[in-house]
Structure 1
């Protein structure tokens, strides 16, 4: 475990979503954090994962954050839902799913990673999902979401390798928040037991506890809300 050097600035991308808002609120209460920069399509400085120019513009407003969390995700929206069969696959839906779940977070890393300090603990964390684990896939279905999150995990792993050569104490990880009571999971909660459906506040507290416990040896890893490593 390596501690953050206070005071430090934090960034939450997706700060108006369920988990993102809870993360931003919890970080704002942390005495070690001097400022929380929250970005989404609805913030004063808008950030749209489908528009790289807005990602670059948002990054330009931040100096040297020690913590960058990408708390975004797309599972469903009007005209898009998780596929149950190969016959359900649609090219436009797959492109949209990858744009938000893989390409957008990759571009956030592209523009925000150069901002972190060269020394001391810094963490770049991307919220993915356990269903993005190829090794853990025994149920099938959800083709696009699974594949996009698996690809995001690979982006994280590859970025970690690059960062290690330049910033020895930097940590880049993928995190699984569990099933959280948000709009993303709402249509799929019936099969989730009450003790496994987390509030955004609980998920935020657990994710930040995991982040606090990370050290350089953990970079490139994939961790659940309880700190357990998940196979890629």
Structure 2
């Protein structure tokens, strides 16, 4: 039995991963805003919830995120950027995970392999960006990739068996993406969860600091 912590356990992907882990016999702790009052952009809330956990975990998954915040859709071009919308994206998609990752050293087991995984998105890849648009969301995801990479470097000094990565779950059919699926192929949350857990299960410490997709393939920064 493994101990698993899911941040964003009430969301489509987070909930599906939590369910899949429970089905495998894992002991799952879930935190979310709707069920627990966990506010990922509020420093005091993050510290209170994570600081109150007594166990260490074999897997911590940060499955929070937002594509559209307060009705602000992804921009079609740089001309559409607004300060308010961009700051909101950074708060949810970069600052929030950073506040969680600040607790990584206390959350992860040191005496055995353990994984800290943060859901990112392929559109956060600078090298893969060929069409532009979605400035705020892209930039926030690029920022969280850097946050994960930096955390991995620091974590390796104290947790020799740990792996800290950013993961792209693919296009998942959830309320989060419904308006933006278009012609893109998508998978249900349950399938995405199995894909992610398969990737996580195959990770090794020499992959720490990397950015991987749902197939386990490395994504360009």
What TM-score comes out, normalization by structure 2 length?
0.96
Structure 1 partner of 2:165: 173
Tell me, yes or no, if structure 1 residue 105 matches structure 2 residue 94: no
- The aligned residue for residue 4 of structure 1 is none
**Residue 10 of structure 1 contacts residue 68 of structure 1 at CA under 8 Å; is this kept in 2?**
yes
Unaligned runs of 5+ in 1: 1-6
Structure 2 unmatched runs, 5+: none
Mapped to 1, the partners of 2:13 and 2:132 lie a distance apart of: 26
Does the CA contact (< 8 Å) of 2:170 and 2:192 recur in 1? yes
Q: Does 1:22 align with 2:16?
A: yes
Among 190, 193, 200, the alignment partner of 1:204 is 193
Q: Counterpart in 1 of 2:55?
A: 63
CA contact (8 A) 1:113 1:124 kept: no
- Specify which of 52, 74, 80 is matched with residue 82 of structure 1: 74
CA contact (8 A) 1:128 1:149 kept: yes
Which residue number in structure 1 is paired with residue 218 of structure 2? 229
RMSD of aligned C-alpha atoms?
A: 1.1
User: How has the CA–CA distance of structure 1 residues 62 and 18 changed in structure 2, closer, same or farther, with 3 Å as cutoff?
Assistant: farther
Q: Secondary structure at the match of 2:49?
A: helix
Q: Which residue of 2 aligns with 1:92?
A: 84
For residues 185 and 208 of structure 1, the distance between their equivalents in structure 2, rounded to whole angstroms, comes to: 21
1:122 CA displacement:
0.6
Q: Distance in 2 between matches of 1:227 and 1:116?
A: 22
Q: Distance in 2 between matches of 1:54 and 1:78?
A: 21
